[in-house]
Chain A
């Protein structure tokens, strides 16, 4: 959802992955220090947002190319952890500080009684519920508030938006900060919700899958969420197949393969539509 807001604001953010990673790390460290996982989540959000702001300034004010800046951020963050973990924490792979508290699972009463659906809908950490809630919230923001409308105008046609008096640079910064904050939350969910540790490989390309999801969904909230679910289902299917004797490398490829295939289909459909319009115009 964060990347989607960013895309609507006109920036293709390939820095979602490192922003998630920073969020995951911050969450683990703050949670361990304070003993309160919610403080960890808050810190992860702020860290992601700050990184987003930095990233955005380099693009909107310093004129950096968004792809180059995004690549740089990826390499920088990976390198940073590669250096920091052995030197500061004296570990190679996984950070599991003493006193680390994960997020509690929340059972929704009644819902968890529903056979079949219960375990799917209930028993998650608060951030998972928040991510579900974010779909309608982002939708309302983008389509029902002046700020959201101006943001979409900026992303679709910056020149026209500026000519109409919309502060386009500030809006693009804002959208990147939102993307950073959401990525930070996503990272915290990984490191405090799914597992309770930090590893610099733990995001495993999810920031890029998110990118693929909003391309799949044409940056519309509901469709993008659908895309994310589809990719998630294939990832889960991969885990199941892994225990049934299919080579694990092939299985792990599955979600990414689905991403590539679905993006190709989306592109082909768009191209066909353009051609159809040209033909219609000539007739």
Chain B
């Protein structure tokens, strides 16, 4: 339980405590594969004892997988983890904790119905006889709070604590368990700016006490605010590891997105038509009651593709759900061709020309056990040639489905095959075909090319461009900056739930977007 006992577990650390002391954490050749995707591809990383080390990269760059491997939540396929120069095997979080490694997740692992004190000590509650020794726990709790230079209302239920206080409590839990390597996975994504500043104070203090802090983030501003060293990951590999002193956000942004070919500025051939979608001061809560979209206002005109760029989890999902009719906003209005639709159901909106390509193809975009024909019919229920008076015309539905399958080149099944028989790319063609054939006035396309092969991507891009030429208004959400820049007439950037930029097609470069998305500009 003490510093000494752990040092004894790693004899080398004391023996060679000279200038050549081995790094606190060294990862060599770590590889982790999920199906066909290399999440981590031979990652090498060294983190010295003490100080704050940032790890940055796009979504899916492999940061979180790497840290989960260090914390025993992911078993690497190959590679070595060394602590103080000693190779160790960390198979479970319990083993990680026993070696002094703690992790603060994006979603806190606290029990809301218990008090702060009970949460702090949970799993190792001090007791006298049969009874919980509250006084002993309070003494320990005060010690830890003083060590961090913060305070805590220990008797308060966690449910009544602010997010910032919950995070401090999570940190204190790690210290209660004697962690001295602390991993933070995007810790500021849930905090207000003031709370984030408080957190930075706590992190600096812990670093000053010799603890090793690893800090995963998307936000370059934060990297330069607190980290001494930064590692950049891209597509499962470490592309750079450098001191923050002497570097700048511009350079990091380029490293993060990689060398992207400069896309030719697309001439806007059609002057935008009347506004189709008008969103005014829209605020939306997520399922937990956190405000994830704040006062968003924008409009999309007929014949216009508006791209929405942002780090995943910045409020895009809630915005899409509100536009489609799956989530009721807290405040604000949504007008479709001048008429309010905030309270309209999904089906009413669809009847007014809204089409939707969901980012979650398997759960929301299609019904996997249902047949292809049924999947298509699901949004054609008002089509009188397919169903009349409560009776389905099965032959007509099958014919209709076949025409869509051939027009959109869906391979791998006929009208009666179950949707789960199709590959991801073909399923996306099915969804696209189903939505497009109604010639929508407003298309919400969330990550339309995610998990689709190159041939499919080109096809989908063509379809989106054709739909725009036909006068559709479109909101395009994608994590591929190249795709956004190539297709969009206008680009919105969303950061921490706010729309922070509105750029014309010519103004947007990957570097500029990268800076805006990470809040660095």
In contact, A281 and B124 (Cβ under 8 angstroms): no
Q: Which chain A residues lie closer than 8 Å to B285 at the CB level?
A: 278, 281-282
In contact, A278 and B330 (Cβ under 8 angstroms): yes
In contact, B130 and A164 (Cβ under 8 angstroms): no
Within 8 A of A (CB), among B274-327: 283, 285, 289-291
B111 partner, pick from A144, A148, A156, A277, beta carbons under 8 A: A156
Interface with A: B19-27, B112-120, B406-414, which one?
A: B112-120
* Cβ-closest chain A residue relative to B122: A164
Q: Shortest beta-carbon distance, A85 to chain B, in Å? A: 42
Q: Shortest beta-carbon distance, A162 to chain B, in Å? A: 9
Within 8 A of B (CB), among A147-196: 147-150, 152-153, 156-157, 159-161, 163-166
Q: Indicate if A247 sits at the interface (CB-CB under 8 A).
A: no
Q: Indicate if A146 sits at the interface (CB-CB under 8 A).
A: yes
* Cβ-closest chain A residue relative to B284: A282
Q: Indicate if A264 sits at the interface (CB-CB under 8 A).
A: no
Q: Which chain B residues lie closer than 8 Å to A149 at the CB level?
A: 114, 118, 122, 125, 132
CA distance A165 to B107 in the complex (A): 18
Q: Indicate if A274 sits at the interface (CB-CB under 8 A).
A: yes
Q: Which chain A residues lie closer than 8 Å to B125 at the CB level?
A: 146, 149-150
Residue count of chain A within 8 Å CB distance of chain B: 24
* Cβ-closest chain A residue relative to B120: A164
Q: Which chain A residues lie closer than 8 Å to B197 at the CB level?
A: none
Known contacts A165-B124, A279-B330, A282-B283; is-contact A160 B131 (Cβ 8 Å): no
In contact, A157 and B289 (Cβ under 8 angstroms): no
* Cβ-closest chain A residue relative to B294: A282
Q: Which chain B residues lie closer than 8 Å to A166 at the CB level?
A: 122-123
Q: Indicate if B110 sits at the interface (CB-CB under 8 A).
A: yes
Known contacts A164-B122, A278-B289, A282-B285; is-contact A156 B109 (Cβ 8 Å): no
In contact, A144 and B132 (Cβ under 8 angstroms): yes
In contact, A153 and B118 (Cβ under 8 angstroms): yes
* Cβ-closest chain B residue relative to A166: B123
Q: Indicate if B506 sits at the interface (CB-CB under 8 A).
A: no
Q: Shortest beta-carbon distance, B167 to chain A, in Å? A: 15
Q: Shortest beta-carbon distance, A196 to chain B, in Å? A: 37
CA distance A144 to B112 in the complex (A): 17
In contact, B93 and A163 (Cβ under 8 angstroms): yes
Q: Indicate if A145 sits at the interface (CB-CB under 8 A).
A: yes
* Cβ-closest chain A residue relative to B133: A146
Q: Which chain A residues lie closer than 8 Å to B93 at the CB level?
A: 163
CA distance A283 to B285 in the complex (A): 11
CA distance A279 to B110 in the complex (A): 24
Known contacts A145-B132, A146-B127, A159-B109; is-contact A153 B289 (Cβ 8 Å): no
Q: Shortest beta-carbon distance, B280 to chain A, in Å? A: 15
Q: Which chain B residues lie closer than 8 Å to A274 at the CB level?
A: 289
Q: Indicate if B270 sits at the interface (CB-CB under 8 A).
A: no
Q: Indicate if B469 sits at the interface (CB-CB under 8 A).
A: no
Q: Which chain B residues lie closer than 8 Å to A163 at the CB level?
A: 93, 109
Q: Which chain A residues lie closer than 8 Å to B394 at the CB level?
A: none
In contact, B111 and A282 (Cβ under 8 angstroms): no
Q: Shortest beta-carbon distance, B321 to chain A, in Å? A: 15
Q: Indicate if B331 sits at the interface (CB-CB under 8 A).
A: yes
In contact, B291 and A164 (Cβ under 8 angstroms): no
Q: Indicate if B94 sits at the interface (CB-CB under 8 A).
A: yes
Q: Shortest beta-carbon distance, B160 to chain A, in Å? A: 11
Contact string against B for A residues 114-150, beta-carbon threshold 8 Å, 1 for contact and 0 otherwise: 0000000000000000000000000000001111111
In contact, A150 and B330 (Cβ under 8 angstroms): no
In contact, A164 and B123 (Cβ under 8 angstroms): yes
In contact, B330 and A282 (Cβ under 8 angstroms): yes
In contact, B132 and A161 (Cβ under 8 angstroms): no
Within 8 A of A (CB), among B178-212: none
In contact, B131 and A282 (Cβ under 8 angstroms): no
Known contacts A152-B113, A278-B285, A281-B289; is-contact A161 B122 (Cβ 8 Å): yes
In contact, A165 and B289 (Cβ under 8 angstroms): no
Q: Shortest beta-carbon distance, A192 to chain B, in Å? A: 30
Centre residue among A146, A152, A157 by max chain B CB count within 10 A? A146
In contact, A156 and B122 (Cβ under 8 angstroms): no
CA distance A150 to B109 in the complex (A): 14
CA distance A163 to B72 in the complex (A): 12
In contact, A145 and B113 (Cβ under 8 angstroms): no
Q: Shortest beta-carbon distance, B171 to chain A, in Å? A: 15
* Cβ-closest chain A residue relative to B328: A278
In contact, B331 and A150 (Cβ under 8 angstroms): no
CA distance A145 to B122 in the complex (A): 12
In contact, A153 and B111 (Cβ under 8 angstroms): yes
Contact string against B for A residues 263-283, beta-carbon threshold 8 Å, 1 for contact and 0 otherwise: 000000000001001110110
* Cβ-closest chain B residue relative to A156: B113
* Cβ-closest chain A residue relative to B97: A165
* Cβ-closest chain B residue relative to A148: B132
Contact string against A for B residues 126-167, beta-carbon threshold 8 Å, 1 for contact and 0 otherwise: 110011100000000000000000000000000000000000
Known contacts A145-B130, A157-B111, A278-B285; is-contact A165 B94 (Cβ 8 Å): yes
CA distance A146 to B132 in the complex (A): 5
In contact, A153 and B330 (Cβ under 8 angstroms): no
Q: Which chain A residues lie closer than 8 Å to B291 at the CB level?
A: 281-282
CA distance A156 to B109 in the complex (A): 11
A165 partner, pick from B123, B130, B290, B331, beta carbons under 8 A: B123
Q: Which chain A residues lie closer than 8 Å to B122 at the CB level?
A: 149-150, 153, 161, 164, 166
CA distance A277 to B330 in the complex (A): 11
Q: Which chain B residues lie closer than 8 Å to A152 at the CB level?
A: 111, 113-114
A282 partner, pick from B94, B113, B331, beta carbons under 8 A: B331
Q: Which chain A residues lie closer than 8 Å to B289 at the CB level?
A: 274, 277-278, 281
Q: Shortest beta-carbon distance, A214 to chain B, in Å? A: 15
Q: Which chain A residues lie closer than 8 Å to B114 at the CB level?
A: 149, 152-153, 156
Q: Which chain A residues lie closer than 8 Å to B118 at the CB level?
A: 149, 153
CA distance A157 to B114 in the complex (A): 10
Contact string against A for B residues 310-353, beta-carbon threshold 8 Å, 1 for contact and 0 otherwise: 00000000000000000000110000000000000000000000
Q: Which chain A residues lie closer than 8 Å to B130 at the CB level?
A: 145, 147
Centre residue among A144, A160, A164, A281 by max chain B CB count within 10 A? A164
Q: Shortest beta-carbon distance, B369 to chain A, in Å? A: 22
CA distance A231 to B289 in the complex (A): 35
Contact string against A for B residues 88-113, beta-carbon threshold 8 Å, 1 for contact and 0 otherwise: 00000110000000000000011111
In contact, B112 and A157 (Cβ under 8 angstroms): yes
* Cβ-closest chain B residue relative to A158: B111
Q: Shortest beta-carbon distance, A159 to chain B, in Å? A: 7
* Cβ-closest chain A residue relative to B173: A164
Contact residues of A with B, CB < 8 Å? 144-150, 152-153, 156-157, 159-161, 163-166, 274, 277-279, 281-282
Contact residues of B with A, CB < 8 Å? 93-94, 109-114, 118, 122-127, 130-132, 173, 283, 285, 289-291, 330-331
11 contacts between A and B (CB under 8 A): A149-B114, A153-B111, A156-B114, A157-B109, A157-B110, A157-B113, A164-B109, A165-B94, A166-B122, A279-B330, A281-B285
Given contacts A153-B114, A161-B123, A164-B123, 14 further A-B contacts (CB under 8 A): A145-B130, A146-B125, A146-B126, A149-B125, A152-B111, A152-B114, A156-B113, A157-B110, A161-B122, A164-B122, A165-B123, A278-B285, A281-B330, A282-B330
What 3 pairs across the A-B complex have the smallest Cβ distances? A164-B123, A165-B123, A282-B330
